[in-house]
Amino acid sequence: MGIIVQEQAGLFHLQSLGMSYIIQIIDGYPVHIYWGSQMNHREPMSDMLIHTPDTAGLDRLPQEYPQYGSGDFRNPAYQVELVDGTRITELTYTGYRVTKGKPSLTGLPAVYTEDKAEAETLELELTDAYSSLKVTLYYSIFADRNVIVRSAHFCNTGGQKLRLRRALSASVDFPGQRDLEMMYLSGAWAREGNITRKPLHQGETRIDSKRGMSSHQFNPFAALVTPETTEGQGEAFGFSLVYSGGFEADAEVDSFGSIRFSIGINSFDFAWLLSPGESFQTPETVMVYSGEGLGEMSRTYHRLYRTRLCRGKHRDEERPVLVNNWEATYFDFNADKLVSIAEEGAKLGVELFVLDDGWFGKRDSDNSSLGDWFEDRRKLPGGLADVAKRINGLGLKFGLWVEPEMISPDSELYRKHPDWCLHVPGRRRSEARWQLVLDYTRQEVRDYIFDSLSAIFSGVPVSYVKWDMNRCLTEIGSAELPPERQAETAHRYVLGLYELLERITQAFPDILFESCSSGGGRFDPGMLYYMPQTWTSDNTDAAERLKIQFGTSLVYPVSAIGAHVSAVPNHQVGRITPLEFRGNVAMSGNFGYELDLTKFTDEDKETVRRQIVTYKEVRGLVQKGDLYRLKSPFEGNQSAWMFVSEDKKEALVYYFQVTAVPNAPRSYLQLAGLQPEFGYEVLPEYSGSRSIYGGDRLMKLGLPLSYQQKDYESGWFRVRATDMLRD
């Protein structure tokens, strides 16, 4: 395992427990040889040399970090503009280095190791002789995970300025005539996480965000899969960008059937000036290979992101059951109303009360006060400290909503600092939700936010923070940047955000931070580095959440997925669903309630009490177990998934039917992830009595499911390994 080098042949074989990735230097260019299931390295690989016709040029060479202008007419991985206005560079190989472990990235979130033995890193050094531009390609491969993490570092070692116009994180060329399809997550506000899958043909298939954030429309993730790939079989090649700003991911098929996949910061409206001696680091791309279908690809991402991307004390702790007052009160509340909801929550077993929007400035609606981070004493005469003390006295922890990246034109902060927002002189300042975006490229702006939030977190016993971001970036310019650096604003905004998040999370390590961007508008690996969970969608309708949570799990662990029970009729779609159905969907994530608990009937309260007791029993398995998706809501009326413990001795199964089916055929559910030779006791939640089956029977034949003739039916049950086994 690790990195095997054949210097004479120019071969680099990156090998993990079940995967190989092979690079070869040909005529000075790093060439992509192979990526797939593990290939043994018993003999020299000189016979793997790629030979192309002398007349073919670079356009036929499968490259690792291609350029444009020297004979390759496909999409380049980078482009540079020199001081004379020309845009031709030619990076060629000048050396390599292999190190133990995985390096961190300055100013950027990154996957990490806790022991250097977990990974090895290959650095390929490339140089353009004319401009003295030096680029280092990083490849970190994990010993026991089918994961490669790639990034690129640019350094201007010459004597003149140059400008990056394109700097992607990774590019991979798949050989000609490879029949692959592209999968990605698409959608919009309140309907995030839709799985899109389409065949690749000559031309380009592209997803991107020009919004300054990863976006509701497309997630910074894509996978190339074979046509026969399903949850449990077939090959999948995943690409996940650890970045929270605008991105692009592109699959280009050339006239010979070769596929070039590239991913990184969106090149649109991007530039970065490098003076002599300056450098630029791209975000990293996490590449996962699975030869056992989409499910294994997802579980590889889940384990990695849950344990080697998320950080801090809350990474491994079970997450609390919460109630959030937003859909219960919106802006119309006072201290007594908040405490009354918390009192009901305490009786039902809730562990955390979260005060959402409306507690600061003169915030009675969306149209004011963002940036004025001080308590509204009209609503809270005793301030946050008084409310938190009263709620803590009930045995609940206290949480708080903030939106620190925004500023309202109707605010004390804006009247004092109208230039602190992103803006372009002489142009209108586009408002969304009556708000503008603070210029996080500026240190004094970040310092103000840090000081304002620190004053609150230091004086109030805040255990949880929901960090929201409710609009995209427009008029992307900064009053502090010179003209030649204005195209750097969007990326500098993200770097500024990361700097602030690092400061605030390190200063308050006991606070559980949750990311939000009108729901899933910035659900990306970059944010998970600072905040281990994300509010998945503002849409809390349980039927819609089946798709949203199922799709999101394609790459993100359940421990990152916030899921709440809300009132009916649902506030987003008006649908009425049973409380049991809503609970079972929400318990398949970080569980909570977003409604007025004081309005529950006695029957509802008993249902909620049971849900909370159950979730506390199973949340360790939900949040840390291996997820197996059994039935897709994108493919039919039924959905199902299960969580399996690492030792495969325990599993939890949820199943759902959206609409009643007349004279329905009997439905069977085949389980997954169990040990075939184990005996498993199916606990009474399934049929009211205990039954014992072999693991092979549960996975091959499955169990019959019975639904009542009602819409929105659901159920759950547990299985446990037992020494007893009968036919």
Instruction: Tell me the catalytic residues.
Output: 468, 538
Cα(134)–Cα(164) distance, rounded to whole angstroms?
Answer: 12
The DSSP element (H or E) to which 583 belongs, if any, is helix 579-586
One-letter amino acid for residue 413 of the chain: L
Q: Measured over all CA atoms, what is the biggest interatomic distance in the chain, rounded to whole angstroms?
A: 81
Cα(340)–Cα(600) distance, rounded to whole angstroms?
Answer: 13
Q: Please spell the DSSP secondary structure of 345-406, one letter per residue.
A: HHHHT--EEEE-S-SBTT-SSTTS-TT--SB-TTT-TTHHHHHHHHHHTTT-EEEEEE-TTE
Residue with tokens 């060479």: 61
Cα(411)–Cα(420) distance, rounded to whole angstroms?
Answer: 12
Q: What angle do CA 692, 696, 697 make, to 5 degrees?
A: 55
Question: Quick one: how far is CA 659 from the chain centroid?
Answer: 31
CB 183 within 8 A of CB 219: no
Residue with tokens 């998320």: 310
One-letter amino acid for residue 209 of the chain: S
Q: Which of 636, 535, 630, 555 is nearest to 185 (CA)?
A: 555
Residue 111 burial (CB count, 10 A) = 24
CB 588 within 8 A of CB 549: yes
DSSP H helices in 146-292: none
CB 705 within 8 A of CB 669: yes
Q: Which of 642, 615, 716, 725 is nearest to 676 (CA)?
A: 725
Token digits of residue 37 = 């299931």
Q: Which of 616, 565, 613, 597 is nearest to 394 (CA)?
A: 597
Helix (H, G, I), strand (E, B) or coil at 230: coil
Q: Which of 546, 688, 555, 565 is nearest to 615 (CA)?
A: 565
DSSP H helices in 63-202: none
Cα(341)–Cα(349) distance, rounded to whole angstroms?
Answer: 12
Which residues are within 8 A (CB) of 371 and not within 5 positions of it... i.e. 6 or more apart?
361, 406, 407, 408, 411, 412, 413, 414, 438
CB 1 within 8 A of CB 17: yes
CB 231 within 8 A of CB 186: no
Cα(173)–Cα(310) distance, rounded to whole angstroms?
Answer: 30
Cα(290)–Cα(17) distance, rounded to whole angstroms?
Answer: 12
Cα(333)–Cα(354) distance, rounded to whole angstroms?
Answer: 13
Token digits of residue 328 = 């219960």
Torsion of CA 678, 684, 685, 687, to 10 degrees: 100
Token digits of residue 442 = 């500026």
Which residues are within 8 A (CB) of 538 and not within 5 positions of it... i.e. 6 or more apart?
189, 190, 518, 519, 572
DSSP H helices in 630-710: 695-700
